[in-house]
Structure 1
Amino acid sequence: MGCRATGPRSALLRVVAATSPAGSPALVVDVGRRMPGRGAWLHPEPACLELATRRRAFGRALRLQEPPDATAVRDHLEQQVTAPVSPASTVDEGSGLEADGLPMSTHR
């Protein structure tokens, strides 16, 4: 959204608009990707968030009348950067996929 580059949904962060206690729109990170309403997809990088905020892309994508508060998204991205990344496999065990992501085949 901010950098205008596309990517797989699994690599993007979904953001939805909610109403803050003050009554103004605020952005919320949809971690489970199940929240109702329009969603905007963003690369999970602070630079992409800054570009989207500067270009006022969230207001257009989420059809908001005023610019939303992006503090919650910024906090989420900062937590992701500071959190240690464990070297976990991206393929589920027993899923039938090899380490290269291709399905196992008995016909070679």
Structure 2
Amino acid sequence: MSRGPGRVDAVAGARSTPVRTCIGCRERAAKSELVRIVIGTDATGRPAAVPDPGGTAPGRGAHLHPTTSCFQLAVRRKAFSRALRAREALTSTPVGDHLTSPRTEIATEIATVIDRQETGAGSS
């Protein structure tokens, strides 16, 4: 059952969870499954799309699945500048670095295992 834009009830009577659209693949997913991206600066001080894993940075945010395929789609489509309504092109290097770091890959694998356990997928 849908409860307005951005919220979906998994089960009638269950608490709704925020839903966001990935700027890479354009699929809707729970906010907790995506990484928030905001405008910040890169190592040289230029404007850049930077990850906000805690979701606490001020300003407009965009969301992205923590996968290299969604990241590459977003780069190819120039989605970072558009989604963040930036006046100039943004470098996406900080996001790519975050997604390829070993810590992020482990967190993604853990989230996938937890999601499978909760949905019952992959069990015999």
TM-score (norm 1): 0.71
Taking the aligned partners of 1:86 and 1:21, their CA distance within structure 2 comes to 29
Given candidates 72, 83, 107, the residue that maps to 1:50 is 72
20-29 vs 37-46, greater mean Cα deviation: 20-29
Given candidates 57, 63, 68, the residue that maps to 1:41 is 63
User: CA contact under 8 A between 2:36 and 2:51: conserved in structure 1?
Assistant: yes
Runs of 5+ unmatched residues, structure 1: 91-98, 102-108
36-45 vs 21-30, greater mean Cα deviation: 21-30
**Residue identity opposite 1:9 in structure 2:** K
How far 1:25 moved relative to its partner? 1.4
How far 1:24 moved relative to its partner? 2.8
**Residue identity opposite 1:5 in structure 2:** E
Count of residue pairs brought into register by the alignment: 91
Residues 5 and 26 of structure 1: CA distance in aligned 2, closer, same or farther (over 3 Å)? same
Taking the aligned partners of 1:59 and 1:21, their CA distance within structure 2 comes to 18
Secondary structure of the residue aligned to 1:72 is helix
**Residue identity opposite 1:13 in structure 2:** V
Larger radius of gyration: 1
What is aligned with 1:2?
A: 24
What is aligned with 2:14?
A: none
Runs of 5+ unmatched residues, structure 2: 1-22, 120-124
The reply to whether residue 66 of structure 1 matches residue 95 of structure 2 is no
How far 1:21 moved relative to its partner? 5.9
Secondary structure of the residue aligned to 1:49 is helix
